[in-house]
Every structure is written in C-alpha cells, then in structure tokens.
Chain A
Amino acid sequence: MAELKLADYKTTVHNDWCPGCGDFGILNAIQMALSEMQIPRHKAVIFSGIGCSGKTPHFINVSGIHTLHGRVLPFAQGAKIANPDLEIIAVGGDGDGLGIGAGHFVGAGRKNVDIPYLIFNNAVYGLTKGQASPTLRLGEKTKSLVTPNTSNSVNPIALALVSGFTFIARSYSYDVKHLKDTIKRAITHKGLAFVDVLQPCPTYDDIHTREWYQGINKQETGKSMPRIYKIEETGYDGTIKDESEINEKMTKILEFSSEWGDRIPIGIFYQNELIPSYHERIAENNKEYFAKPPSHQEISDNENKPIAKIDKILDKLQIKD
C-alpha cells in the first residue's frame, strides 16, 4: 500500500476555531501521529465530546464520531470493546471530561479499555463564551467571569491516577513534537491512556496565555522563564516494571500533579502495563473474545435464520416428567 502522507489525514472541512487557538496544535499532533504510525485511515476512528474540541474529528480524514457532552468515553469504550481491532482515539474538553463527564472519567479508569484519551485543557468553557471550567483554580478570574471562580479545581493527573488509568501524561499544545510523541506513546500503550493537554484559549482565558506558559512576564529575572519543564529531562521514568515500584511512583506522581504556577511538569508520569486491560479481563471468561469480538460474530445463515442454538438453555427450563 502506498505510504500515507500527513495531508492524507486532513479533511477540507472549514475549521472555525479562533485564530491562535491551542486546539490547532493538538489537531496537527494527532494527524502527525497517525501519519507517522501509518495507521490505515479506515481503521482509525476519532471519538469526541462536545465543545470546541468536539469538532476535532471533522478535520481529520479518518472516520469520526462526534458524540454528546461528557459522554465521549462510554461511546468510545463501547466501540473498542465491541471491536478491539479498531484504532480508537477519544478527545474532549476539560469541562466535557472533568465536569459533566467526570463520572465516566472515573468509570473508565476502573475498566482500562485500550484507548488513548486526550483532554484539551484550557480552564474555560469556550464555546459557551468563557465560563469557568473544572480546571480553573479557585479565585481566578478569567475575562468573561463576573466574579472570581468560587469553585475549586480538580486535579486531572491525580484523578486519573486514583481512578486507575494505566498511562498518564501531560503535554502542551504549542510543543507539537512533544505532544505528537506523547500521543504515539498513548496509542501504543496497552490500556487506557490519559493525556492532559495544556491548551491556551486565546479568546476567553486571559490568564493562562501562551505568553504566560512561556514565562514572558515573569518578573524575577526580567527575561522569559518558561513555566513548562519536561520530567524526562530530570531523569524521571514513569514506566512501572515491577509492582513493587508502584507506591513510590504514585507518591511522586501526586507531587508532580500538584506542581503549578512557576513550574509545570509535562511528560509521561505513569505507564503500567502490568494491569490487565478490560479486553484481557473479558477474555478470561470468553476465550475466543480476541478472535471473535462482538463486531465479528456471525448471527445468521445464508437464509437469514438465526445461528444461535438455544437447545441447552431451553432444555434446562423445559418441564421434564
């Protein structure tokens, strides 16, 4: 088969995100990851929630399922459990995944279905004109808020960890290479992978701007001091190779997760493939699951008659004299 180029993963659908939106970087990174991995276009399916991030699938030239607000994870898990051969990527916003969809975030962690999930995290509800999202910190006042935020923020990394995600990473939408590499790792990870993508909203978030992340306004030295740093560069490796490492690593991840402000860590905090995926758990009771998942099953013969044979079930219920 001819090699697929980056352009092959782009649609001609008009992109109506605001100029300068961090989402463009994420879109490019997903397309680059798909192209570098040469994932056949028909095999990949992008599932999304609702909001600006929800439009992502329409711009990627693979099948796309734009679902409901907060529900991207159960939709995507259903498809992946029914057909594990698909390369499913779930994307959504911070309000989508950590507000209205928070229950599914926790539920998905418990299942560990083999999909990557990217949250486009910009601390505001953009498409409804800038309300506070679950990742906006208490007391912060972005420009369309009437009063400073009265709710505290959720910690996505810590929540993912305690919910049971087996791959937890953070990246930044303006570092497309880092993001693309992180997405590739998330796709190849066996199990549920969470990537928290920091993504400035140039229209509604006047606090966490691109300049803020770059540290342009930091006063101490008079010159830019980027807030973001890469944990890999500090020698950290989040891979769990043995169960005995888990406790120590979890403590470290919680430390990373609470770092914010002057120093914001990005990179792969955690990867644990020792935990069986949901698919492997199904296969324990259903030996042929991987060979014949739900989507691959024959249900009728050439004459459209059902091929299920229920004699054994009926015999048990039959009245015997």
Chain B
Amino acid sequence: MTGVNSISWLIGGPQGSGVDSAANIFAKTCAKEGFHIFGKREFYSNIKGEHSYFTIRISDKPVNSHLEEINVLVSFDAETVFRHADKVSAGGMIIYDSSLAETVLEEVPTIDFEASNRIRKLLQDSGQSMNLNGMLEFAKSRGCMVYGLPYFEMLETIAQKMNDPKLSKISRVVNVMAISASISLLGIKKNMLINSIQEVFGSKPKLLASNIEAAEYAYSYIGTKYDTKNIKYKMTPKDALKDYLLLSGSQAAAIGKIVAGCRFQTYYPITPASDESEFLESNQIIDQVDGKSGSIVVVQTEDEIAAITMAIGASLTGVRTATATSGPGFSLMAEALGWAGMNEVPLVVTMYQRAGPSTGLPTRHEQSDLLFAINAGHGEFPKIVLASGDIEESFYDAIKAFNFAEIFQLPVIHLLDKAISSSIQTCKRFSNDLKIERGEFKNTIGRNQSEGAAGHFQRFKLDDSPISTRVPIGTENAIFWNTGDEHTEEGHISEDPENRNKMMDKRMKKLDLALEKINQDDMAICHDFDSDGKNVVVSWGSTKGAILEALEKLSEEGNKMKFVQIRLLHPFPTETVKKFLKDAKLVIDVEMNYTSQLGSLVQQNTGREIDYKIVKYNGRPMSTTELYIALKAILSGNNERRIVLDGGT
C-alpha cells in the first residue's frame, strides 16, 4: 500500500511534551504541499508523562484510515523507539535522540510491565542488547535507516545563535526540531513548514521565533550530517488542495451544530466528548448571513443527568438543543431520554463512544454502545439512532440529527466515537446549501386554535398523523402540560387503558413514519453497489475508512466486494438492507466490539445470517492493514467464523 507519495508517519513522546502540536504542524505542512491527510491520536488517561503518539498518513489520494506499518518514526524520547521501532518498514526512517542511545529498557518507568515484556522478548529473540541501541540495531537489521539528533547540543547552538541562554533549557522546541528533521528527510520544502509554524504560533512572537530557529536548524542539520540521496520515502510536491479543510471529528460535529441552529448545549466533562463543547464555547458568538449575530449558550452541568434534563428543559422553549457525552455519561441519561420520548421533545444527544464497560479504556476507541443506544431507557418509546462513518459525515449528520429530532419530535442519538472525534483529516470545505426542517413547530397559535378543555392547547393531539403541532412553552393561547406519566392530549396524567393505547400508538408510529420519510442514503449506503462483487461487508460508524481502503486493495487484486454502511441504526432500515444483501454470497460483519452488535441487528431484522464476523475490542481503531489481512483470509477459505483483530500499540 505504501509507495511513492503515500507514507505513514508517527511521532511519539510523553503526554504534555507537545506531541499533538508537533503532529498538527507536520500535518499542516504536508497538506500545504498538496497531500491528503489522515491523522490518528492515541493517548493514555493521564495528564503528563505517559506515552502518547500521533500517526499521520500522507497521500496524493484521499486517505481514510491508518496502517499498522510506519515509514517514518519521529521521536525525542526512548519510549517511542522502544514501542514503535518494530513497526517501521524496510527502508523506513527512525529519528531519535542520540544522547539516549544507552537508555536501558527497564529504566523507562512509563513502559508498563506487559509492554516491557514484549519488547524484552523481541530484543532477546533477535540477539540485541536491552537498550535503545539494541532496538535501533534491530530496526537496522530489518532495513531501516536511523538518524540520531543530539537535541540538547543542538538547543545550545540555537540558544547561542539567538543570544538567549535560557532557550537551551526550553525543551518545548524539541518536538519541532524532530518534525523538521523528518520533513527534511522526506524532501518536503522548508517554507511550508515555516508557514505552518507561523500559523500555529503567530500570536506568540517569542515562541514563534524560537520555533522557527529550531526548525531551520534541524532542517539543515539533517542535510549536513546525513546523506539523503538514497531515501526510499521521498515526497514529490503536488498541486495545492483547493478548498480543503484539515479538522477533527469533534470540530466537524460542532460546526454542524452551529449550522443546524443548535443554540443551547449542555455537557459534563468526559473524554472524548468535551472537545466538542469546548469548541462550541470558543465559537459562541455566531455570524449570520443577514449581518446580525447569533449565539450559542453552552452550559457545563453538575453531572450528566443534569446535562440531559437541562437540555430537555431548554428544548421546551423552542430552541434547538443538544448534549454531548460518552458511554458512562450516557448511562446516566437513560431515564431522561424516556421522558423526552414520552413528551415528544426534540433533542440531540451526541454520543462519542469509547471503550467500556464502566470506566473501561477511557481514552481509547470502541463501538460497543450500539445496542445500548438503541435500547436506552425503560419502557418503550421512539428514538432515532444515527451513526456517522467519518469526519465529513459528522458535520452533515449533525444537521440531519436536528432535523429528524424536530420532524419526528423525539430524541435523536448521534453516534460518533473516539476514533472520529480525535482523528484529523483533510475534507472538502463544507457546503452551506442545506435545509433546516422544523416539522410541525410553530411560534404562534391563534386564539381559537386551542381545542382542548378551557381553551388549552392539545400538545399531544390524537389525529391521523402521529406528529402534533408543537409550540414553545410561553406561547400565548397555548397552555399545555408535560408529564412523564401517561397523559391526555393536553398533557394531564391519565391511567385510562383506551387513552394509553392511543398514545402508545401515536408515539410508536413515528418509527414507521421515520422509515417512510428518511432518505435512503441516510439509512444505508451500498458502496460499490454497481460492482459485480458478490461478497458484502456490513458495518457502521468509523470502521468505514479502513473498510473502503481494504476493499479498494482487494478490488485491485481482482476480489471485488460491496460495502453496506448502515447509517440509520434505529429504526432499522430493514427493506434497504435486505435489498443490498439480496444477492450476497458471503456477508461479513465488521465492528469494533466483542459481540458483533450490528450483526445481531442485521440478522434479527432481515433474517440474513452473518457468515463471518471480524471484531476488535483492544481499544485501538481498526487499521486498513489488519482488516485487509482478515478479509483476504476469509476469501481464501479460512474456516474461522469469527476473527479477532489485535493491531495497535
């Protein structure tokens, strides 16, 4: 998969040492050179010190996932080399701190026992010494090139040049030196790097100057110290990407909310959902096409129960409202979700899944809350569950989620996950040509339009349509009630059995209506529908990227397959999925969870058995590499019906 103009690059370091910002500068630099970017972030539940890393793929074609293989490993600590050097490809490059060459494996406290054992075994088996040198020798024996940089000596030189002795103690610029060295090795022009640094540090002149000096020095250091002629991974600049964004999934979803007209969001801090709320708060004043400005109120609550109930309270006033959370928070929201269903309140819950159960792997990825999202809350009530497959979809789906919530007057759960939220990708600039659909929402009610007893408004009018006219509380001529109890058309408590049936029917019929009204592409997409491939992969959410790329490679080898991406998970689009699976020879379910939750849904709703299951639950997103290998095994007649993937560091 790797070739000229498509590489996999990784930077690692202790949390808090600038790994993220370095990766972002690198990604910007490559994007400016015309390359598409996909970046994946991995970090511990820790503030400072534990190992974090950022993998970036750069390609002249759009890229949607990461690979197991690394072509360029950028480091400024020993741990990064210990943990990742074995994944560097032949001809790949490792940048390391030459002053750390003698660092012994046991001396790195943040390498946990299990990882340490694996590394020790690898070094033992290859006959290397138990230090960083041993790891580098191992890599060299596999054809890797290593480039040592004496960062602190280099810092001293820079400090002298800038006539600022304090600078030699500031290790912050080491990250920029490391990426600059990699950019030099890859043959990417220096000026794009300098521009990116200017964009990032533009508002901080002192930081800007030292970072630029560090970048310049490291860039030329490589050129003078090393012979760079025979480097396998040289990047040729491409035409600039026109109208492309580089952003994360949580940013995309947040911007979608702004466009959708969400003007009230609540949250309780939780990884990986808080980023979205913080982005919204940073952009709380909203420009409008009419030249005026609007705003979004973002409220941090005391817990997730307050987050959802406050959001529901706000929604009753007519504003488009959302709350964002992850699994543990969503667990607390279940009861209130039922209240919103019972009272037909439009509400969007953006659910960023992470690895559970309980606290699970709080900063790692999983898609294990599908059935929970569908079934959350006691009793039966309608809700819509929608899952986005990538960063771009997260934007457009955020808008659809609010439309669905208002059209059908119910809670919508927009399923995203850690892989989408914290990854970055180059996306076509978002279109603004979208529709806000508010269904039966009205701001005013005429004096004679309230038909209930004593002129009360029938918020839950029993009519041909399950959707009643909805007005904000506080509307003149429209006094009504809400209650979590079963209720009358006006919203008063009723335990009458006939009324109960009518109201249950009214609410639950919305699910049929949703299947009638929602566009097919929002229910499920069959990628490569026109191909003659008979084998079908079914999946949902962020596995999309790895699947598309694995299928592309298989197709190049003559193994054509279709991919059914199910986007509407509840109500389940049975007819659409049946249609897509009609002629399937093999149905292969791919998911980031233990129990193949989507597989059960497909089987239960369509009656079609799942032939093979590919699952993963080690907390690391699925890579194209491992998925390709698993699919290849199935196509070559592998008899294992369930394949568990285990890639990732």
Contacts and interface: CB of A to CB of B under 8 A. Distances in A.
A306 B473 contact: no
B114 interface: no
Contacts of A304: 435-438
B245 A314 contact: yes
Contacts of A75: 309-310, 312-313
A309 B297 contact: no
B258 to A, nearest CB: 5
Contact of A285 (B28, B247, B284, B480): B284
A66 B321 contact: no
A83 B258 CA distance: 19
B313 A47 contact: yes
Contacts of A85: 474
A65 B434 contact: no
Given A82-B264, A310-B259, A314-B245, A294 B436 contact: no
Contacts of A307: 261, 288-290, 294
Contacts of B290: 301, 307
A41 B479 contact: yes
Contacts of A308: 258-259, 261, 286-289, 294
Contacts of B4: none
Interface in B302-353: 302-303, 305-307, 309-321, 335-336, 339
A302 B552 CA distance: 44
B247 A321 contact: no
A294 B309 contact: no
A42 B297 contact: no
Contacts of A107: 301-303, 306
Contact of A317 (B195, B246, B316): B246
Contacts of A86: 317, 473-474
A66 B313 contact: no
B448 to A, nearest CB: 15
Given A62-B479, A289-B295, A308-B294, A295 B339 contact: no
B240 interface: yes
A75 to B, nearest CB: 4
A306 B432 contact: yes
Contact of B288 (A55, A62, A79, A309): A309
B313 A77 contact: yes
Contact of B319 (A61, A82, A321): A82
A37 interface: no
Nearest to A42: B476
A89 interface: no
A152 to B, nearest CB: 23
A67 B339 contact: yes
A220 interface: no
A301 B244 CA distance: 27
Interface string B367-395: 00000000000000000000000000000
Nearest to B294: A297
A259 interface: no
A62 B474 CA distance: 9
A58 B199 contact: no
Contacts, number: 250
B639 interface: no
A312 B287 CA distance: 8
A311 B485 CA distance: 45
A81 B299 contact: yes
A253 to B, nearest CB: 23
Interface residues of B, number: 88
A37 B317 CA distance: 23
Contact of B32 (A45, A65, A288, A320): A320
A65 B473 contact: yes
A65 to B, nearest CB: 5
Contacts of A64: 481-482, 491
Interface string A44-72: 01010010000101100111111110010
Given A66-B485, A104-B302, A308-B288, A295 B241 contact: no
Interface in A160-205: none
B251 A305 contact: no
B168 interface: no
Interface residue tally of chain A, by bracket?
35 or more
Contacts of B243: 318
Contacts of A77: 310, 313
B183 interface: no
Contacts of B247: 317
A50 B493 CA distance: 12
B285 interface: yes
A300 interface: yes
Contact of B241 (A12, A78, A319): A319
A78 B32 contact: no
Contacts of A320: 32, 195, 199
Given A67-B339, A75-B310, A289-B297, A297 B32 contact: no
Contacts of B437: 304
A39 to B, nearest CB: 12
Contact of B436 (A40, A103, A306): A306
B313 A82 contact: yes
A146 interface: no
Nearest to B287: A309
Contacts of A67: 309, 313, 339, 482, 484
Which interface residue of A67, A292, A312 has the most chain B CB atoms within 10 A?
A67
Contacts of B246: 317-319
A85 B474 CA distance: 9
A169 B579 CA distance: 65
A295 B319 contact: yes
Contacts of A311: 287
Contacts of B307: 74
B426 interface: yes
B211 interface: no
A313 B335 CA distance: 36
A74 B288 contact: no
B483 interface: yes
B174 interface: no
A282 interface: yes
Nearest to B263: A294
A43 interface: yes
Contact of B28 (A288, A293, A319): A319
Given A42-B477, A71-B336, A308-B286, A318 B309 contact: no
Given A45-B474, A66-B481, A305 B435 contact: yes
Nearest to B31: A319
B429 interface: yes
Interface in A84-124: 85-86, 103-104, 106-107, 110
Given A68-B336, A308-B261, A317-B246, A78 B481 contact: no
Given A66-B485, A301-B289, A58 B316 contact: no
B303 to A, nearest CB: 6
A136 interface: no
A66 B287 contact: no
Contact of A57 (B28, B299, B306, B481): B481
A223 to B, nearest CB: 44
B319 A297 contact: yes
B296 interface: yes
A242 to B, nearest CB: 30
Given A78-B299, A103-B306, A304-B435, 20 more contacts: A63-B481, A67-B482, A68-B335, A71-B306, A77-B310, A288-B295, A293-B297, A294-B263, A294-B317, A294-B321, A301-B290, A305-B434, A305-B436, A310-B432, A313-B255, A313-B258, A319-B28, A319-B32, A319-B244, A319-B245
22 contacts: A57-B481, A64-B491, A66-B493, A67-B484, A68-B484, A75-B312, A77-B310, A79-B313, A286-B297, A288-B295, A294-B317, A299-B436, A304-B436, A306-B261, A307-B261, A308-B258, A309-B287, A309-B288, A311-B287, A319-B245, A320-B199, A321-B34
Interface of A: 11-13, 40-43, 45, 47, 50, 55, 57-58, 61-68, 71, 73-83, 85-86, 103-104, 106-107, 110, 282, 285-286, 288-289, 292-295, 297-301, 304-314, 317-321
